[in-house]
Structure 1
Amino acid sequence: MNQQRPKPTTAELEILSVLWEHGPATVRAIHEILSQGKETGYTTTLKILQKMADKGLVTRDESRRSHIYHAAIQAEQTQRQLIDDLVRQAFGGATEKLVMQALSLRKVTPAEIESLRKLLDQLEEKSE
């Protein structure tokens, strides 16, 4: 079954990022992390998590008094889906344009350049 899940909204991505970084958590724990530095209501976090569960983006363990939410999708899977959509929609399918824009946004460190060189070498080897 190769069914694509719905794309997460910006708010849903914030919650998924918390779950990817910290692991399964209660609404309270997720809310506390999200509300650092900004006003976010607990009920808003709860409602978003409920919608995410309905969409299949998270799973909910209801075996305890405080429900535990788990990310139902991996970070890499979500990033690939979002990048693929971005390349097709904003760059007409031209990956090179996306990479050039991304690299022009900020200063690239020598370590990042080395990592990019290794990736390009690997891609070149595969295409030969």
Structure 2
Amino acid sequence: MSTPALPKPTAAELEMLRLLFALGPSTARQVHQAALDNKPETTYANVLRQLQLMHAKGLLTRDESQRAHVYAPAQEQESVQTNLLKELIHKAFAGSGKALVLAALKGGHVSAKERAEIQALLDEDPEK
């Protein structure tokens, strides 16, 4: 029996996940401090409530062994990104990964350094 798929994160939830991926397992206070860098108007109460809701939805795990609960993403960053990318490719690019890559390359969303990294990946021997 397979585990049920987690709900797709909202934009606000993705921001919390981004912070937690960068920080690692963290308390609400630590996440709040990190959130202030991008959005100084963010309140501690809003961050705590968002983390609690995300835990209830299954997007986060919560370690309650300490007085200050520690939150962490329920899935690895790569897994979250892969699921979102699959959905984007399906919805916006008619299922074509090639169309997505071409749009990113043509749209100026890829730096010269990133292009070189992509080219190196393409040049790798698939037999390795």
Partner of 1:26: 27
Return the alpha-carbon distance in structure 2 between the equivalents of residues 31 and 19 of structure 1. Answer: 11
Structure 2 unmatched runs, 5+: none
1:35 aligns with 2:33: no
Partner of 1:89: 91
Show CA shifts across 1:32-88 (max 9, x none). Answer: 111224211211111111111011111111111111111111110010000100000
SS class of match (2:37): coil
Structure 2 length-normalised TM: 0.86
Q: What does 1:57-72 align with in structure 2 at a 5 Å threshold?
A: 57-72=59-74
Aligned length: 125
Aligned-pair identity in percent equals 41
Q: What does 1:72-83 align with in structure 2 at a 5 Å threshold?
A: 72-83=74-85
Return the alpha-carbon distance in structure 1 between the equivalents of residues 109 and 86 of structure 2. Answer: 24
Superposed CA RMSD = 2.0
Structure 1 length-normalised TM: 0.86
1:101 aligns with 2:100: no
Structure 1 unmatched runs, 5+: none
Return the alpha-carbon distance in structure 2 between the equivalents of residues 125 and 24 of structure 1. Answer: 36
